[in-house]
């Protein structure tokens, strides 16, 4: 088995322009171990490959073991083609917070690919891999997927093992799938999901949950009810609003019933997300002390000085900011004010979703869900530019409002390209009840059948 004929020059021409990969293993055309390659975000372990998290601190670290999700894909016959660029430790929305390189959007190289799984999204959008793994803590699979015009699935919390994923905010994050088509996304998710003895938070889908292989509709061919978050979209840029409206019109034309829904807690999502995410990050990143992991300074006075120097030189500014924020919200005597309040908001958001979608435990006799899925924007803008055209770090965080709620509630969410507006793709997302990935994929697949997903100029498909 080998990579397809002509792929290597195609890869080189694209990669020069978009910079999706931190490491690439497909150089030796003709010797690649599989005809189904996949790319892996550089915070997910694959033995022998880089595991830099796009940080100076781990720049030369190579993984001694393989993540469960990667291992399952290898057992299925796929092979890792390379490790992709990202915002350092998954903290960001552009991939420009990578300490190692810059990734550009395949649709317009002056713009970002989104983040933090920007390298994975750009690689798939340019046809350099049929699918890629990413991680989604607050939107990092769905937002770059939307910016680059590919499918991005953030699974139910615990549906996919996190063993081998470098932890950023453990209670929020999942490994997710970026793919060229909905069908591919479904097959990959079917392979990587499931209970894993190496991750105690994993679970198999309950028997009552929607099966993964429903096609053409929702259940028994019946088109379902989609709740649309139409009143709470004040922040959308004009083109993104047009894409969101196109998605509604197209879904209605396909026979879905659209009703308006509201999420009263949506506006508290971002502050709660950044409180919880930074608190967990400050604890998770404490392990990078240059003793167990990380680049060491040339000299130091004593062990404390060694750790100080290594962290000062190794972490970029966004990572330092978040560690500081995390220790701030967790400091003694102030937990009530920030952390515990954020946890209460988190429960409120979960209840908002349960009232619309049904609860997570599928207990018999619980009230029937009002909707099969909720349709929401992914991000207020299309892929943004740099310099003058950039979004400030604060605006980028505020813009996580549509994505971070699925992480706070632990629910699955699927982003797919709805339309192209002004030369750039606009993605929308479907959110569902826990373990309803099958439903979300079925809706997106019926959409894709009627409105095939677009590709950037110069795209060629090497993958069946």
Q: Which residues contact ligand GLN by CB under 6 A?
A: 90-93, 116, 135-140, 168, 277, 400
- Tracing tokens 């996949």 back to the chain, one arrives at 38
Check if 140 is active-site: yes
Least distance CB 146 / ligand GLN (angstroms):
13
Give 86 or 205: the residue with its C-beta nearer to ligand GLN: 86
Give 115 or 294: the residue with its C-beta nearer to ligand GLN: 115
Least distance CB 339 / ligand GLN (angstroms):
17
The span from the CA of 115 to the CA of 136, in Å, is: 9
Q: State the catalytic residue, choosing from 50, 63, 98, 116.
A: 116
Give 7 or 402: the residue with its C-beta nearer to ligand GLN: 402
- Tracing tokens 């989609």 back to the chain, one arrives at 226
Least distance CB 387 / ligand GLN (angstroms):
20
Give the CA dihedral 412, 52, 120, 96, nearest 10 degrees. Answer: 100
What stretches of 315-360 show up as alpha helix (H) in DSSP? 317-330, 341-357
Q: State the catalytic residue, choosing from 41, 154, 223, 397.
A: 41
Give 55 or 290: the residue with its C-beta nearer to ligand GLN: 55
Helix (H, G, I), strand (E, B) or coil at 308: helix
Q: State the catalytic residue, choosing from 50, 93, 117, 140.
A: 140
**Contact (CB, 8 A) for 123 and 387:** no
Largest CA distance in the chain: 70
In this structure, the strands spanning 225-228 and 257-260 are parallel
DSSP state of 417: E
Element containing residue 148 per DSSP (H, E) = helix 142-148
Give 50 or 137: the residue with its C-beta nearer to ligand GLN: 137
Helix (H, G, I), strand (E, B) or coil at 260: strand
The span from the CA of 292 to the CA of 297, in Å, is: 14
Give 378 or 441: the residue with its C-beta nearer to ligand GLN: 378
Helix (H, G, I), strand (E, B) or coil at 184: helix
Least distance CB 84 / ligand GLN (angstroms):
13
Least distance CB 150 / ligand GLN (angstroms):
16
Check if 267 is active-site: no
Give the CA distances from residue 42 to residues 21, 95, 118, 352, 399, in Å, rounded to whole numbers and listed in that order. 9, 12, 11, 34, 24
Least distance CB 83 / ligand GLN (angstroms):
16
**Contact (CB, 8 A) for 349 and 205:** no
Check if 187 is active-site: no
The span from the CA of 212 to the CA of 190, in Å, is: 7
Least distance CB 318 / ligand GLN (angstroms):
8
**Contact (CB, 8 A) for 180 and 463:** yes
Give 280 or 421: the residue with its C-beta nearer to ligand GLN: 280
Element containing residue 244 per DSSP (H, E) = helix 238-253
Q: Which residues are tagged catalytic?
A: 41, 116, 140
């Amino acid at each position: 088995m080998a990579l397809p004929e002509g792929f290597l020059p195609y890869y080189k021409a694209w990669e020069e322009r978009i910079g999706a990969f931190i490491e690439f293993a497909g150089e030796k055309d003709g010797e690649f171990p599989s005809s189904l390659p996949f790319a892996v975000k550089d915070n997910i372990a694959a033995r022998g490959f880089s595991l830099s998290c796009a940080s100076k601190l781990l720049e030369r670290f190579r993984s001694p073991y393989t993540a469960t999700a990667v291992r399952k894909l290898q057992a299925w016959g796929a092979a890792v083609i390379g490790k992709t660029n990202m915002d350092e430790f998954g903290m960001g929305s552009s991939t420009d917070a990578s300490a190692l390189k810059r990734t550009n959007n395949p649709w317009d190289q002056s713009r970002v690919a989104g983040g933090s799984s920007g390298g994975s999204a750009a690689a798939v959008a340019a046809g350099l891999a049929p699918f890629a793994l990413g991680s989604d803590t607050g939107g990092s699979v769905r937002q770059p997927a939307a910016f680059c015009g590919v499918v991005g699935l953030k699974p139910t919390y615990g549906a996919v093992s996190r063993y081998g994923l470098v932890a950023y905010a453990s209670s929020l994050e999942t490994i997710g799938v970026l793919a060229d088509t909905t069908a591919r996304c479904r097959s990959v998710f079917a392979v990587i999901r499931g209970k894993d003895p190496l991750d105690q938070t994993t679970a198999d889908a309950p028997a009552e949950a929607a099966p993964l292989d429903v096609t053409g509709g929702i259940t028994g061919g019946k088109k379902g009810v989609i709740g649309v978050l139409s009143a709470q979209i004040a922040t959308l840029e004009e083109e993104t609003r047009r894409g969101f409206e196109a998605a509604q019109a197209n879904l209605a034309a396909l026979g879905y019933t659209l009703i308006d829904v509201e999420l009263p807690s949506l506006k508290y999502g971002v502050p709660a997300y950044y409180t919880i995410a930074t608190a967990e990050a400050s604890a998770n990143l404490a392990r990078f002390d240059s003793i167990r992991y990380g680049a060491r300074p040339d000299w130091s006075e004593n062990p404390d000085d060694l750790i100080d120097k290594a962290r000062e030189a190794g972490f970029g500014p966004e990572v330092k900011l978040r560690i500081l924020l995390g220790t701030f919200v967790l400091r003694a005597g102030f937990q009530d004010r920030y952390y515990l309040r954020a946890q209460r908001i988190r429960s409120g958001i979960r209840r908002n979703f349960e009232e619309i979608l049904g609860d997570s435990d599928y207990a018999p006799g619980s009230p029937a869900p009002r909707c099969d899925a909720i349709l929401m924007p992914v991000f207020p803008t299309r892929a943004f530019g740099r310099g003058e055209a950039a979004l400030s770090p604060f605006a980028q965080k505020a813009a996580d409002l549509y994505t971070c709620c699925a992480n706070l509630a632990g629910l699955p969410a699927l982003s797919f390209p709805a339309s192209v507006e002004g030369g750039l793709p606009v993605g929308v997302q479907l959110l569902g009840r826990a373990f309803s990935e099958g439903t979300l994929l079925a809706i997106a697949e019926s959409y894709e059948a009627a409105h095939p997903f677009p590709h950037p100029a110069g795209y060629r498909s090497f993958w069946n």
